C-alpha cells in the first residue's frame, strides 16, 4: 500500500551517508514503537565496490514524514521545508 | 519475563557436533551481570576450563551485546568478545564497533557462545532461528576485506566478523576488524577462530524488534544528548579530517603536512547510532599504489605504530595500514617484534641466517613484505608471528633482555614518553592482557590541570569520599583513580557503549542511569550500575587468578626504568606532572594503592572474600 504523503519528497546525498542507521532506527521506532531496521521505511544498504559506501532508498510505506531527515547527523537526507497549513 | 532492551536469548553453537541451542536469557542473570561485559564473564566462568589451551576446542568464543545496542542511544555499537587468548594465555575481553550487536539482536540473541572445532573451514550464519554452519573452503585464504565483501554480496544487510590469513595460520599477534571498521581481537582472538576452522561469523538482519520500557523518556534523553553532540565545536574537524585531524588538534601536533591530502582522500563512516563517526574509507586516486580503496578505524594509529619505519608519503601510509588490516596483523605487536629483531640485527646478535635471508634495514618495502610473511607464517615471518617475547626466547642469545612486555604482550603506551598516567598504569593491572581500559579524557595528554580530573571523576560517578581520597590540591593518586576509571570503562562494555573519546565524552553517570532506566524499565542508581560494572571487572580478575595470574604479573617491565635517549636528552619514567622521576618502588606503591582501592589482597592481587561478598560473588572462587 502506498502511503499518503505527509511532506515534500526526500532527496538523498548517498555520498554523505556514513551507515550510522540512525534514520532506520528512528523510523522503525515511529512505525513499530520498537527498534529494528527491517521495519524501517528507509533502507540503507551497503554497496560492494561502489562509488558510495551506501545506497539509500524508501519503501512504498514511507509517507515523507521527514523524521529521518531531522535525525540524520550527516546531511545525507534533504527535504524542503514543509509548507505551514492554515 | 524479558527485560526490555534485551533481545532475550543466548545462542550456543558447538562446532564439533554442529548442534545449536537457543536458551532464554534469565532476567536475574541480566540484572546481576549486566549486558555484554557482565554476562560474558559469567558465561566464561561457567563454560571455559581454567586450564584450557586457548587454541583447543575446549576454549569458547563468547560474544555479547549490551542493552543499549540496537537502540538510538548515541554511540552504542560496542560488541564484547571474551575468550582465552593465545598471546598471554589469559582470559581477555575485546570490544569493538560495527553493526554486529544490532544485527545479532535483530535475530533475537544477546549472546553467542561458540565452542568446539569443525573438520573443514566453516562460517557461521545467523538469521533469526536459521543458524547454519556453511562451507567456507572458497573463502579460506582470502583477506579480511575480501571475506567481508563476499559475505556482504551473499547476505547484506548483515554484519561480519571475519578472520584473515593471520587467523587461519594461528598467528598470536593477529587482530581482525568487524565490518572492515571495528578493530577487535588484540591478543590473538583471530587465532582462536582459526583454531576452530571458523572463517567468519555473519549476523544477518533479522526480524526481531528491540522494545524499550519508556519510549518517550528515551527519546527525550537521546534528543538532549544529540543536541550537545551536534553543537560540539570540534565535530566538523572530526568529520572533515578524521581522528588524524582530531589528534593533531588536541595534541598540537602537525599532520606531517598531509592534512589536506588526507581530508581530500577520506570519507567518514560510522557505527550504528553514532553521530561522531570516526571510521574511514580511504580512496587513493593518484600517486603510489593508486587506485586503491581501503578502510581503517584510526588513521592516527598509523603514526603511533610506525616505529622505526619512516613514512614519506600519505599514500604509503595508507598502503601499509591496508596491508596490516587486510592480513589482520596487530600494528603494535608487529612494531615491537620487528623493532626488536632489527635492533638485534644491527647489533650483530642475529644475522641473515636467522632471518631467512631478509636484510632488516628498517625500510618500507621490507616492512610490507614482512607483514605478509608474518600473516602467513612464511620463513622469518613465522618468528614474528609469535610476538616479541616468544620470538626473543626462540632466538636466545640474551634477546629476551631487550623486550619490554606486559603479560607477554606489547604495551600500547610507553610511560617514559607519555608520562605515568592512569592509562599507562592500567596496562599493568588489566586482567589477562594489557589494555589501557579507563576513561581517558584529560589523561591522554600530560600535565593537564587537576580541576579537569576532579570534574571528570565526578562525571564518571566517583563517590565524593573517593574523590577526597584521590585528589590533593595539585596531585592525584594514579592507582586509586584507575580503579574508578576502569569501572566506568567496564560499565560501557556492559551496556554496549563505545568508549572512544569522541563520543564517550558526552556521557555522564547521571545520563547513563537515565538511559538505562528508560530502556530496561529498571529504576536504578549510579552506585548500583557502577557496582555491576565492578562485579564484571572482578569476575574477569577471578578467571585470570584461576589461570595463575596475580600480582607477579602486574609488576612493571624492567625496561620502564631504563631511560630511552633521543639526541642529548634522556627520558626517565616520571610522574604525570613530569616533576619527579619514578622508581620501581614508586610504581609498586601505586600498585598497593590500586589493590587497596579495589579491595584486593596486596600480596597476591586476589579479590578479598570481603570484596566478593560485597559484590554478591561469594560463590565464585578464584
Same domain membership, residue B430 and residue B346: no
Same domain membership, residue B588 and residue B469: yes
A48 to chain B, any CB pair closer than 8 A? The answer is yes
In this prediction, residue A83 has a pLDDT band, given cuts at 50, 70 and 90, of low
- CATH number of the domain that B552 lies in? 1.10.599.10
- CATH number of the domain that B379 lies in? 1.10.569.10
Q: The sheet that has B79-84: what strands, in order across it?
A: B20-24, B9-14, B111-115, B61-65, B79-84, B91-96
Select from B205, B209, B239 the Cβ nearest to the Cβ of A32.
B209
Select from A36, A39, A46 the Cβ nearest to the Cβ of B156.
A46
Same domain membership, residue B26 and residue B127: yes
pLDDT at A5: 80
Closest Cα in chain B, distance from residue A76 (Å): 12
pLDDT at B307: 44
In this prediction, residue B538 has a pLDDT band, given cuts at 50, 70 and 90, of very high
Closest Cα in chain B, distance from residue A42 (Å): 13
**Number of helical H runs and strand E runs in chain A:** 2, 4
Higher-confidence residue: A49 or B253? Answer: A49
d(Cα B374, Cα A25) in Å, to the nearest integer? 41
- CATH number of the domain that B145 lies in? 3.60.9.10
What phi, psi does B184 have (nearest 5°)?
Answer: -155, 150
Count of residues in chain B:
622
Is A18–B210 a contact, with Cβ atoms under 8 angstroms apart?
no
The tens digit of pLDDT for each residue in B446-493 reads 778 888 889 999 999 999 999 999 999 888 999 999 999 999 999 999
The tens digit of pLDDT for each residue in B217-262 reads 999 999 999 999 999 999 999 999 998 888 766 655 555 667 788 8
d(Cα B117, Cα B288) in Å, to the nearest integer? 42
Is A20–B274 a contact, with Cβ atoms under 8 angstroms apart?
yes
Mean pLDDT of B564-573: 80
Is A34–B212 a contact, with Cβ atoms under 8 angstroms apart?
yes
pLDDT at B254: 54
Secondary structure class of B260 (helix, strand, coil): helix
State how far Cα A80 lies from the chain centre. Answer: 14
Percentage of chain B modeled with pLDDT above 90: 80
pLDDT at B310: 52
Same domain membership, residue B300 and residue B365: no
Same domain membership, residue B367 and residue B435: no
In this prediction, residue B302 has a pLDDT band, given cuts at 50, 70 and 90, of low
Residue B567 pLDDT > 90, yes or no? no
In a domain, B219, yes or no: no
Same domain membership, residue B597 and residue B583: yes
- CA distances in angstroms from B329 to B88, B169, B556, listed in the order given: 16, 12, 26
The tens digit of pLDDT for each residue in A66-76 reads 999 999 999 99
Query: What is the number of structural domains in chain B?
Result: 4
Is A46–B106 a contact, with Cβ atoms under 8 angstroms apart?
no
Q: Which residues contact B437 (CB under 8 A, 6 or more apart)?
A: B426, B430, B486, B489, B490
Residue A14 pLDDT > 80, yes or no? yes
In a domain, B498, yes or no: yes
ipTM of the complex: 0.94
Select from B153, B230, B277 the Cβ nearest to the Cβ of A20.
B277
Same domain membership, residue B522 and residue B478: yes
A27 neighbors A40 (Cβ within 8 angstroms): yes
Same domain membership, residue B361 and residue B507: no
The tens digit of pLDDT for each residue in B400-414 reads 999 999 999 999 888
In a domain, B211, yes or no: no
Is B207–A35 a contact, with Cβ atoms under 8 angstroms apart?
no
Residues 53-72 of A with CB under 8 A from B: 53, 71
pLDDT at B442: 60
Same domain membership, residue B338 and residue B321: no
Same domain membership, residue B487 and residue B559: yes
In a domain, B408, yes or no: no
The tens digit of pLDDT for each residue in B612-622 reads 999 999 999 88
In a domain, B223, yes or no: no
In this prediction, residue A1 has a pLDDT band, given cuts at 50, 70 and 90, of low
What rounded mean pLDDT belongs to chain B?
A: 93
Residue B84 pLDDT > 60, yes or no? yes
Same domain membership, residue B550 and residue B428: yes
The neighbour count for residue B289, using CB atoms within 10 Å, is 14
The tens digit of pLDDT for each residue in B569-582 reads 788 898 888 878 88
Is A74–B277 a contact, with Cβ atoms under 8 angstroms apart?
yes
In a domain, B228, yes or no: no
Residue A16 exposure: Cα atoms within 13 Å on the Cβ side: 14
d(Cα B46, Cα B24) in Å, to the nearest integer? 17
> The whole model's pTM is what?
0.96
Residue B425 pLDDT > 50, yes or no? yes
Same domain membership, residue B339 and residue B320: no
pLDDT at A86: 40
Domain region containing B356: 331-402
Residue B37 pLDDT > 50, yes or no? yes
The domains of chain A are located at 10-77
Strands B61-65 and B20-24: unpaired
Which range among B108-122, B443-457, B540-554 shows the weakest confidence by mean pLDDT? B443-457
In a domain, B168, yes or no: yes
Mean pLDDT of B379-396: 98
In a domain, B410, yes or no: no
Element (DSSP H or E) covering residue B200: strand B198-204
Amino acid at each position: 500500500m502506498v502511503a499518503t504523503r505527509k511532506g515534500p519528497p526526500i532527496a538523498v546525498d548517498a555520498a554523505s551517508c556514513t551507515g550510522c542507521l540512525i534514520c532506520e532506527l528512528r523510523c522503525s521506532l515511529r512505525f513499530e514503537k520498537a527498534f529494528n531496521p527491517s521495519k524501517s521505511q528507509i533502507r540503507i544498504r551497503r554497496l560492494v565496490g561502489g562509488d558510495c559506501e551506501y545506497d539509500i532508498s524508501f519503501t512504498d510505506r514511507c509517507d515523507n514524514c521527514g523524521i529521518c531527515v531531522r535525525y540524520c547527523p550527516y546531511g545525507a537526507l534533504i527535504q524542503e521545508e514543509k509548507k505551514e497549513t492554515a | 519475563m524479558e527485560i526490555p532492551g534485551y533481545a532475550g536469548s543466548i545462542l550456543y553453537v558447538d562446532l564439533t557436533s554442529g548442534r545449536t541451542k537457543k536458551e532464554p536469557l534469565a532476567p536475574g542473570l541480566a540484572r546481576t551481570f549486566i549486558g555484554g561485559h557482565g554476562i560474558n564473564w559469567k558465561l566464561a566462568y561457567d563454560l571455559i576450563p581454567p586450564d584450557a589451551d586457548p587454541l583447543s576446542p575446549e576454549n569458547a568464543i563468547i560474544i555479547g551485546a549490551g542493552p543499549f545496542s540496537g537502540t538510538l542511544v548515541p554511540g552504542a555499537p560496542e560488541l564484547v568478545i571474551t575468550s582465552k587468548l593465545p598471546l598471554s594465555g589469559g582470559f581477555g575481553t575485546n570490544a569493538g564497533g560495527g553493526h554486529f550487536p544490532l544485527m545479532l539482536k535483530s535475530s533475537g540473541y544477546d549472546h553467542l557462545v561458540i565452542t568446539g572445532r569443525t573438520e573443514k573451514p566453516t562460517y557461521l550464519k545467523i538469521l533469526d532461528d536459521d543458524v547454519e554452519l556453511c562451507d567456507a573452503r572458497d573463502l579460506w585464504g582470502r583477506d579480511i576485506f575480501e571475506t567481508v565483501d563476499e559475505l556482504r554480496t551473499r547476505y547484506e544487510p548483515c554484519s561480519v566478523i571475519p578472520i584473515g590469513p593471520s587467523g587461519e595460520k594461528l598467528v598470536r599477534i593477529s587482530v581482525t576488524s568487524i565490518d572492515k571498521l571495528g578493530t577487535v581481537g588484540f591478543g590473538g582472538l583471530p587465532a582462536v577462530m582459526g583454531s576452530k576452522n571458523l572463517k567468519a561469523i555473519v549476523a544477518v538482519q533479522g526480524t526481531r524488534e528491540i522494545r524499550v520500557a519508556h519510549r518517550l523518556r528515551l527519546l527525550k534523553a537521546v534528543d538532549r544528548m544529540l543536541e550537545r553532540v551536534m553543537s560540539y565545536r570540534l565535530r566538523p574537524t572530526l568529520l572533515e579530517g578524521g581522528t588524524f585531524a582530531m589528534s593533531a588538534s588536541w595534541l598540537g601536533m602537525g599532520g606531517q603536512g598531509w592534512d589536506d591530502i588526507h581530508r581530500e582522500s577520506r570519507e567518514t563512516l560510522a557505527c550504528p547510532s553514532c553521530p561522531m563517526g570516526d571510521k574511514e574509507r580511504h580512496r587513493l586516486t593518484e600517486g603510489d599504489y593508486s587506485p586503491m580503496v581501503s578502510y581503517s578505524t584510526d588513521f592516527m594509529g598509523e603514526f603511533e605504530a610506525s616505529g622505526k619505519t619512516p613514512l614519506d608519503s600519505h599514500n604509503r601510509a595508507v598502503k601499509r595500514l591496508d596491508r596490516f588490516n587486510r592480513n589482520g596483523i596487530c600494528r603494535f605487536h608487529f612494531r615491537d617484534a620487528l623493532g626488536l629483531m632489527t635492533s638485534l640485527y644491527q647489533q650483530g646478535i642475529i644475522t641473515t641466517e636467522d632471518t631467512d635471508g631478509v636484510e632488516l634495514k628498517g625500510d618500507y618495502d621490507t616492512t610490507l613484505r614482512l607483514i605478509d610473511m608474518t600473516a602467513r607464517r612464511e620463513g622469518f615471518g613465522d618468528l614474528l608471528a609469535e610476538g616479541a617475547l616468544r620470538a626473543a626466547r626462540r632466538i636466545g642469545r640474551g634477546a629476551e633482555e631487550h623486550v619490554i612486555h606486559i603479560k607477554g604482550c606489547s604495551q600500547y603506551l610507553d610511560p617514559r614518553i607519555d608520562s605515568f598516567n592512569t592509562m599507562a598504569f592500567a596496562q599493568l593491572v588489566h586482567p589477562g592482557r594489557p589494555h589501557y581500559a579507563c576513561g581517558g579524557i584529560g589523561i591522554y595528554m600530560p600535565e593537564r590541570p587537576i580541576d579537569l580530573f576532579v570534574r571528570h571523576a565526578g562525571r564518571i560517578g566517583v563517590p565524593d569520599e573517593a574523590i577526597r581520597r584521590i585528589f590533593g590540591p595539585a596531585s592525584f593518586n594514579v592507582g586509586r583513580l584507575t580503579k574508578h576509571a576502569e569501572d566506568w570503562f567496564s560499565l560501557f562494555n556492559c551496556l554496549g557503549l563505545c568508549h572512544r573519546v569522541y563520543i564517550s565524552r558526552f556521557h555522564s553517570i547521571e545520563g547513563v542511569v537515565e538511559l538505562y532506566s528508560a530502556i530496561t524499565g529498571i529504576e536504578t542508581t549510579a552506585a548500583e550500575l557502577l557496582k555491576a560494572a565492578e562485579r564484571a571487572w572482578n569476575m574477569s580478575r577471578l578467571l585470570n587468578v584461576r589461570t595463575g595470574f596475580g600480582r607477579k604479573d602486574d609488576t612493571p617491565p624492567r625496561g620502564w626504568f631504563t631511560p630511552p635517549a633521543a639526541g642529548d636528552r634522556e627520558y626517565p619514567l616520571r610522574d604525570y606532572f613530569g616533576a619527579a622521576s619514578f622508581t620501581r618502588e614508586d610504581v609498586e606503591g601505586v600498585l598497593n594503592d590500586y589493590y587497596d582501592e579495589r579491595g584486593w589482597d596486596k600480596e597476591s592481587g586476589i579479590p578479598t572474600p570481603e570484596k566478593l561478598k560485597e559484590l554478591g560473588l561469594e560463590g565464585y572462587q578464584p
